[in-house]
Amino acid sequence: MAVQRSSRPALSRPLRLLVLAACLAPPFAWSQAQAPSTPPATACPLQPRYPLPADRSDLQKLATAQQAAADERGCLTNAAFHAWRGATLLALGRTAEAIEPLERALLHDPDLPGAQLDLAQALAAEGDTASARAFLAHMRQRSDLPLPIGQVIDRQLEILSLPTPLANVLTAGWQSRWQFSAMGGSETNLNNAPSSSEVTLTFPQGDVTLPLDVESRPRSGGATLGVVQWQGLRPWNESVLVVQAEFKARQTGDSETSYQQSDVAATWLDAPAASRQWVARVARSHLRYGGTSLLRATRATLQYQWEARERTEASPWSEVLAGCRPAASLELEHRGYPESRVLDGLYQGGAAGWLCRRSMVGRGIEALTANTFFYGAQARLGSDRPLQAARAGGAYRRAEVRAQWEGPWLGGRVGAQWSTTRQRDRTPYSPLLGNVPRSTIRHVLQLEASWPLTESLALVANAEISRQSSNLAVFDARQRSVYMGLRWEVMQ
């Protein structure tokens, strides 16, 4: 009997991929092909294989083979097989037929996350938005769910409650988000000047200490900061494409200390539904400072992500690391300085770290969002090779350690990030500066907080404290900044 479809909005296709790939976050540590909790006595003649065929005719042949094997003894109680069959029917657009095998999969393994997401999508497509919301709300309570993915689930829950015309617009094609921020504040070093008031030069006759010109010393003052951000998600067969763009402008009372910065990046996730996957990313940045094109950088990253750790009783760190996903990457970056080509360089390096998320128990979607904690750590090591031999200091080695945390605070959310970066040249920087290799260490603490005023408007504040020390005093620097303003968010 044909199923009468409702005009209620369906979840975006495929929801599983969009949720898993949201906001460049690590994907779920779950595989749709996860083994059933109780293996059948007889093996199923068809074993789940991902990704699904991209060609529709091959997909149809697979659905026919799955239908023929559905009543085999070894397949009847195989949750992974039924979830696989349901995913195939969903990919063919046969949402009504997909519901039965997906429900059967969850009957044998209620915690199979891939099947939960697919069933929510199928139910929404058939007009049963109440059940779809219930499944998504259940998914939202998982302790190993990364924060950005939870935010996308929240958005899908909001979409299901919207009037039909608007929801249909939001669920078609690209899923995107705009953010507009306007802030005002002050900084203690608008011109990024050295903190020292004098410089010591080395001559054959001996050292000479000279005072720095007043214009070369740190300038403090007020500034306004405007930021526009766009982020888009789009499925591509079994993969997901994520595109991000940001434009930031700081305006001060002096054009020499104002700047404009633009960044654009594209990220490809090859199999977000899998427990492990490759992630490739390319990015481009441009910085104009004081009316001059100061820096143009192009970056490429190839990352591998492992499945998230599960909670065990054996280790005291089990509770802290539960839901943490390890990742390692290779990085390549070309840095160009249009006004001083001798500084151009090519950076090569690697990074490794963890990305973790925990949720405290709460009632309702709002409580779940408010009680989410996010934390992680990363270590990076690499070297920058000059493209011209005349660059002062030659090649340099750079090492960085970074840690971050985010959680609820006073009805809003607060985040903190700490980084320490060490850099050392391989050759002496300059005969006039002691003829020794330059060595620097930089510490940066960043704080950010937001409090919602309405569904789309929030009060935001951020602060930054940085300190750079060097064996060459001319590279010592200090900076503090505080900004506060409003952020407006628009979903499309």
Q: What percent of the chain stands above pLDDT 70?
A: 73
Whether the link from the prior residue into 14 is cis, omega within 30° of 0, is yes
CATH T-level assignment (fold) for domain 15-170: 1.25.40
Phi and psi angles of residue 52, each rounded to the nearest 5 degrees, phi first: -70, 155
pLDDT-derived band of residue 217, with 50, 70 and 90 as boundaries? confident
CATH T-level assignment (fold) for domain 175-491: Porin (2.40.160)
Q: What digits encode the pLDDT tens for the residues 178-188?
A: 999 999 999 99
Beta bridge partners of 403: 377, 418
Q: What digits encode the pLDDT tens for the residues 339-390?
A: 999 999 999 999 999 888 776 544 333 443 446 778 899 999 999 999 999 9
Residue bearing the bigger pLDDT, 52 or 301: 301
Distance between CA 34 and CA 77 in Å, rounded?
A: 14
Q: What percent of the chain stands above pLDDT 90?
A: 40
Average pLDDT value for residue range 131-142: 72
Q: What digits encode the pLDDT tens for the residues 102-132?
A: 888 888 887 676 787 788 888 877 777 777 7
Does the pLDDT of residue 40 top 60, yes or no? no
Dihedral of the alpha carbons of 209, 215, 220, 225, in degrees to the nearest 10: -130
Question: pLDDT at position 115, please?
Answer: 80
Distance between CA 409 and CA 411 in Å, rounded?
A: 6
Contact 267, 281 (CB under 8 A): yes
Contact 59, 92 (CB under 8 A): yes
267 exposure class (CB count in 10 Å sphere: 0-12, 13-18, 19+): buried
Which of 101-115, 233-247, 457-471 is most confident?
Answer: 457-471
Distance between CA 376 and CA 400 in Å, rounded?
A: 14
Residue bearing the bigger pLDDT, 314 or 230: 230
Distance between CA 476 and CA 469 in Å, rounded?
A: 5
Q: In 3D, which of 97, 84, 118, 105 has the Cα closest to residue 16?
A: 118
Distance between CA 488 and CA 255 in Å, rounded?
A: 27
The distance from CA 457 to its chain's CA centroid, rounded to whole angstroms, is: 22
pTM, to two decimals: 0.66
Distance between CA 179 and CA 246 in Å, rounded?
A: 9
Does the pLDDT of residue 394 top 80, yes or no? yes
Average pLDDT value for residue range 29-37: 37
Q: What digits encode the pLDDT tens for the residues 190-199?
A: 988 888 776 6
So where are the chain's domains?
15-170, 175-491
pLDDT-derived band of residue 205, with 50, 70 and 90 as boundaries? low
Question: pLDDT at position 107, please?
Answer: 85
